């Protein structure tokens, strides 16, 4: 939807509420998507995940990290 100038129009409150409900229903907030690119719920085993780390980088004294 665009306004007369061609800019995206801001939906009215009722339309915003409907769009937000659809986002919630589709689990958009999770940040997870299935193999077809559709929004997906959080994985069941998310509480068992561990961060993946690489090798520890040692710096010389006074060396900047970047």
Classify the C-alpha dihedral 10-15-17-21 as positive or negative: negative
Report the share of the chain in percent with pLDDT over 70. 88
pLDDT in the model for residue 3: 66
For residue range 18-45, list pLDDT tens digits in order: 877 887 777 666 677 788 887 777 777 8
Reduced to 3 states (helix: H, G, I; strand: E, B; else coil), residue 5 is: coil
Alpha helices in the chain (DSSP H): 13-25
pTM: 0.37
Whole-number average pLDDT of the chain: 77
């Amino acid at each position: 939807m665009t306004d007369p100038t061609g800019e995206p129009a801001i939906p009215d409150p009722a339309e915003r509420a409907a769009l937000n409900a659809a986002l919630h229903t589709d689990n958009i907030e999770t940040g997870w998507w299935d193999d077809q690119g559709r929004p997906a719920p959080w994985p069941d085993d998310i509480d068992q995940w561990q961060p993946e780390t690489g090798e520890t980088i040692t710096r010389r004294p006074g060396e900047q990290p970047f």
